[in-house]
Structure 1
Amino acid sequence: MKIDFTKNSDALVPAIVQDIKTNKVLMLGYMNEEAYNKTLETKKVTFFSRSKQRLWTKGEESGHFLNLVDIAVDCDNDTLLVKVNPVGPTCHTGSDTCWNEKNNSSYGFLSVLEDTIADRKNNATSEKSYVASLFEKGINKIAQKVGEEAVEVVIEAKDENNDLFLNESADLLFHYLILLQAKGYTLKDIAAVLEARHQ
């Protein structure tokens, strides 16, 4: 990997730090060649501190290290993407990230859908939605719907109609998300189980 430390007069390149599991951007620091080499050697992310004018390993005082997983350089060879497993919060303020965000996993639209389901569960109105009505009917009805949708997915998997298969799969996943919420869980909990099995 060729990194161009000569583009700036201070011989520093930006280093964007990203959590390997959640994909959240945690912070931005700067590395010179010495900091980069120390990071590779120790597997602890080390920057060049512009204020202290010295090498600085994140966590050297707090214990909140950024354990190195991978480093990639951009197409211009002058910016680094540093993927890490963080130990504790990243920001000196105690926040998970330097943008005061929670370092939670996001599953894209599925996370949006989970939030909508939780809202329907917790804020049912007089004109109840389909989701709210399922929660009102209780866990047995929700579990029954998951079973019905699972059978329909199996049936469509044996056919050649891809549209029907995808639609039934979407129905199954939708009702499964409702079942998870009814039991007090989310996709994050399922991901944690799968991750533990993977190790």
Structure 2
Amino acid sequence: MNVDQLTFNSQGLIPTVIQDANTLEVLMVAFMNKESLEKTLQTGETWFYSRSREELWHKGGTSGNVQAVQEIRFDCDADTLVIKVVPAGPACHLGTRSCFTNILFHKQGVIVPIGDVLTQLENTIAARFKEMPEGAYTTYLFEKGIDKILKKVGEEAAEVIIAAKNRDAEELKWEAADLLYHLFVLLQEQDLPIQEVARVLHERSQPKEEKASEE
């Protein structure tokens, strides 16, 4: 990335949108100048320019809530950045995961972001695995072990097949949700992050270069 490609405003700043690399949730918006961007590139963690304090600041430098940079993009006019990060903690100074928690308008029936749901599911199951709360079904599965978990994955897969064979969309969505849940429990038991599965799917979805035919 060539920083000279970018267009900074009259104050030498460029607006920067910070996005969770896994869920694509917008975490915060801040400003960078050329120096803070260069430090971000050098360190692999986000640095910004504070307009009120007129100085650079390292996100998480005090709180520990650093943001590990995964990708930096700029728009068609080269005057706005989008940075995908893996956050070590809340992005907002109020202690929330994202600065965008206040709702001005919400349409009923809005599409649920699948990335957010799967990440929350993985985090919930990981917490159950760590804390093993008494009476929780997830705790029961972990206590019973791999054979029980595999049995449930198989049973739920069969239920999905039956619902699909019967053309029962209502039943299918419930059985598919049960299958995904038990699959996530299995991945946790195997210590395999869903991000590794996502990486495989991402690689498979990329267009492959066709080999030149031999004449």
TM bucket, shorter chain: 0.5 to 0.7
In structure 2, C-alpha distance between the alignment counterparts of 1:196 and 1:76, rounded to whole Å = 32
Aligned residue in 2 for 1:3: 6
In structure 2, runs of 5+ residues without a counterpart are: 103-111, 122-153, 200-215
CA contact under 8 A between 2:163 and 2:175: conserved in structure 1? no
Q: Give distance in 2, aligned partners of 1:188 and 1:100.
A: 27
Match in the other structure for 2:161: 150
- Give per-residue Cα distances to partners, 1:93-114, cap 9 Å, x unaligned: 101011237xxx9317x88xx9
The equivalent residue for 1:138 is: none
Q: What is the CA–CA distance in structure 2 between the aligned matches of 1:171 and 1:94, rounded to whole Å?
A: 39
1:81 aligned partner: 82
Residue 28 of structure 1 is matched in structure 2 by: 29
Deviation, structure 1 residue 81: 0.2
Q: Distance in 2 between matches of 1:77 and 1:44?
A: 21
Residue identity matched to 2:58: T
Output the CA distance in 1 between the equivalents of 2:196 and 2:113.
20
8 Å CA contact 2:15, 2:79 repeated in 1: yes
Shift of 1:188: 6.8
User: Closer, same or farther in 2 for the Cα pair 1:99/1:145, shift >3 Å?
Assistant: closer
For residues 1-199 of structure 1, the aligned pairs below 5 Å read: 1=1, 2-5=5-8, 8-100=9-101, 106-107=113-114, 146-150=157-161, 172=172, 174-178=174-178, 185=181, 193-195=192-194, 198=197
Q: What is the TM-score normalised by the length of structure 2?
A: 0.57
For 1:190 and 1:74, the matched residues in 2 are separated by: 40
Which letter does structure 1 place at the counterpart of 2:48?
F
TM-score by length of 1: 0.61
Amino acid at match of 2:96: S
List, as ranges, runs of 4+ consecutive aligned residues in structure 1 with deviation greater than 3 Å: 143-146, 167-174, 185-194, 196-199
Secondary structure of 2:92 counterpart:
coil
CA deviation map 1:58-91 (0-9, x unaligned): 0111111011111000001000001000011111
Shift of 1:175: 1.3
Tell me, yes or no, if the aligned pair for 2:17 and 2:26 is still in contact at 8 Å: yes
Secondary structure of 2:16's counterpart equals strand
Contact map agreement 1:3 1:77 (CA 8 A) in 2: yes
Q: Is the 8 A contact 1:146 1:172 kept in 2?
A: no
Amino acid at match of 1:147: A
Q: Is the 8 A contact 1:149 1:168 kept in 2?
A: no
Contact 2:160–2:176 (Cα < 8 Å) also in 1: no
3-state secondary structure, aligned to 1:34: helix
